[in-house]
Chain A
Amino acid sequence: MERPTSRITTLRALAQRFSFLLLVFASIALMIIDKVEPTPMEALRARMHDAFTPILDAISRPAATAARFLESVADIADIYRENQELRRDNARLMQWKQAALRLEAENNSLRTLLQFQPEPGMAFVTGRVIAAPGGSFVRAFVVTAGRRHGVAKGQAAIAGPGMVGRVVEVGEWSSRILLLTDINTRIPVVLQRSRQRAVLAGDNSEQPQLLYLPADAPIAVGDRVVTSGHGGMFPPGLPIGIVAEVGERAIKVQPMVDLSRVEHIQIVDFGLPETLLMSDLGGAPVR
């Protein structure tokens, strides 16, 4: 006859194996639910990074300070050369400024002639990047700006010279930015020189691709890519990147911003009226 203790051990082993299987199935089920119905999970995710923002904020500060210190040491070495370059740049930019002022005046006078409706004004919210959490599968940042600062889903995020991504989840005081390079990114763009429209699509590599370009479209390495403003999600003309490679299989775009060194992000409130967004997107409100 079997002893009761050994029966208990077998039972316990069975229960353990069963709980293991249960957890594995739960993980897989969650993946499927998240894929099929992502909306309820978004609120949960936003809650989660809200809850951990204080901790992430605290532990990301020393890393930022260390990086800044290392960078400043490296900068001192070539301060003379950089100074020379900056003087040259400054002289050139002064000329550009004159040109821009002249063009602005001309534009203004032409607009008064045409009774042109100006674009709605833009407002900015600035947040600090406190986490780059996705590893090799998701390209995203968590930043310290949320609903109470006026951030809403779908807004564009820019840093320095250009766009870095868009807001995908908004918490109370934090939000998540999906970067241009992420595999789920699709942004309507236009080539600045030829005014050719295309869609910028990330593929988790360093350089996103341009999709839906006609085969005979004039395109060359070095062309600037900017947001087209179609769909009303982003203001038109935000710089995105420069065409880096025109290949047989893909046209690659190098983002304007070095995404591995972004410390602060500005979120652009384009200020489009909600009704316009709703009618544009087939009734689905974006905010």
Chain B
Amino acid sequence: MNMTLWQKLDQTGRNLAPCVVTVMLVLAGMVPFYLPDYDRIAPSLALMAVYYWAIHRPDLLRPSAAFAIGLLQDLISGVPLGLNALILVMTHWIVVTQRSFFLASSFLLLWWGFALIALAVAVVQWVACVAVYWAILPAAPVLFQALLTIALFPWFAWLFIRVHRAFLVPG
């Protein structure tokens, strides 16, 4: 099938949707909400996005893209450079290796899988930060951040499904 230039451009634009949505969520996650203590436990929206797209369209959000998005988050937020890059690449890898299981399972199982990953991510992040700063950090905000991320996952999953249907399903 031969595509015209406009069709190709259109297809490329649609294929960029997963990356664009993830970058937008990285930025949206940094907005100050002026709620007491919110900044400390702001949910990790990029993690949700990488989890969803690695299950459904790993060809459109490759590990290198996850790495680049994590790096962007590190550069803007000022956390040790490479921290979020490491987290997103590992999430991507775990999900892709278990992809057949995730694709076949119900939403509840998907949520459960996400909960496990979010908690594992919290532990890895905390350990990495303790190693870099060489000081014990309070663990409670990290845990609450993971719990809030898990609790908000269904809403964002709904958003990803809408984006997925709108841009990436033909017809």
A residues with CB within 8 A of B: 16, 19-20, 23-24, 26-31, 33-35, 41, 44-45, 48-49, 52, 55-56, 59-60, 63-64, 67, 71, 129-142, 168-169, 176, 178, 183-184, 203-206, 258, 260-261, 263
B residues with CB within 8 A of A: 27-42, 44, 63-64, 67, 70-83, 85-86, 89-90, 93, 125, 128-129, 132-133, 135, 137-138, 141-142, 144-145
Q: List 8 A-B contacts (CB under 8 A).
A: A27-B83, A31-B80, A41-B81, A44-B75, A63-B31, A133-B29, A135-B42, A135-B77
Q: What's the Cα separation between A154 and B108 when bound, in Å?
A: 49
User: Which one of A27, A60, A138, A168 contacts B85 once the chains associate, using CB atoms below 8 Å?
Assistant: A27
Chain B residues near A129 (CB-CB < 8 A): 32
Q: Closest CB-CB distance, B47 to chain A, in whole Å?
A: 11
Chain B residues near A183 (CB-CB < 8 A): 133, 135, 137
Q: Are A138 and B79 in contact (CB under 8 A)?
A: yes
Main secondary structure of the interface of B (DSSP, over half): helix
Q: Are B82 and A27 in contact (CB under 8 A)?
A: yes
Q: What's the Cα separation between A34 and B72 when bound, in Å?
A: 14
Chain B residues near A263 (CB-CB < 8 A): 34
Chain B residues near A52 (CB-CB < 8 A): 27, 76
Q: Are B31 and A131 in contact (CB under 8 A)?
A: yes
Number of A-B residue pairs with CB-CB distance less than 8 Å in the complex they form: 158
Q: What's the Cα separation between A134 and B74 when bound, in Å?
A: 9
Q: Are B79 and A134 in contact (CB under 8 A)?
A: yes
Q: What's the Cα separation between A206 and B141 when bound, in Å?
A: 11
Q: Are B145 and A134 in contact (CB under 8 A)?
A: no
Please give 7 more A-B residue pairs, beta carbons under 8 A apart, in addition to A56-B31, A136-B137, A168-B78.
A26-B82, A28-B86, A130-B31, A136-B138, A138-B77, A139-B40, A140-B77
